[in-house]
Amino acid sequence: MQIKVVVEKGEDGYFVAHVPALKSCWSQGKTREEALGNIKEAIDLYLEPEPEELENREVVELTV
């Protein structure tokens, strides 16, 4: 999966990363690389479904 991440240098010198497509998905790091590693982890956690959500979920492929 590819997703756009915005990385900016904050006023405190840290790098701040966020994902505009995922509301409230933010992270930071002392370096750009650390911020990108941290936001990747945040994205994984953001997209991880809750166990109870999986109980009633069915994936179906349709041809239209």
What domains lie within the chain, and their CATH numbers?
6-48 (3.30.160.250)
What pLDDT is stored for residue 6 in this prediction? Answer: 98
- The answer to whether the pTM exceeds 0.85 is no
> Which H helix or E strand runs over 42?
helix 32-47
19 CB contacts (<8 Å, ≥6 apart)?
Answer: 3, 4, 5, 6, 25, 26, 39, 42, 43, 46
What pLDDT is stored for residue 61 in this prediction? Answer: 87
Q: Extract the residue ranges of the chain whose pLDDT is less than 50.
A: none
What pLDDT is stored for residue 54 in this prediction? Answer: 64
What pLDDT is stored for residue 51 in this prediction? Answer: 67
Integer Cα distance of 9 and 53 in angstroms: 36
Burial class (CB in 10 A: 0-12, 13-18, 19+), 39: buried
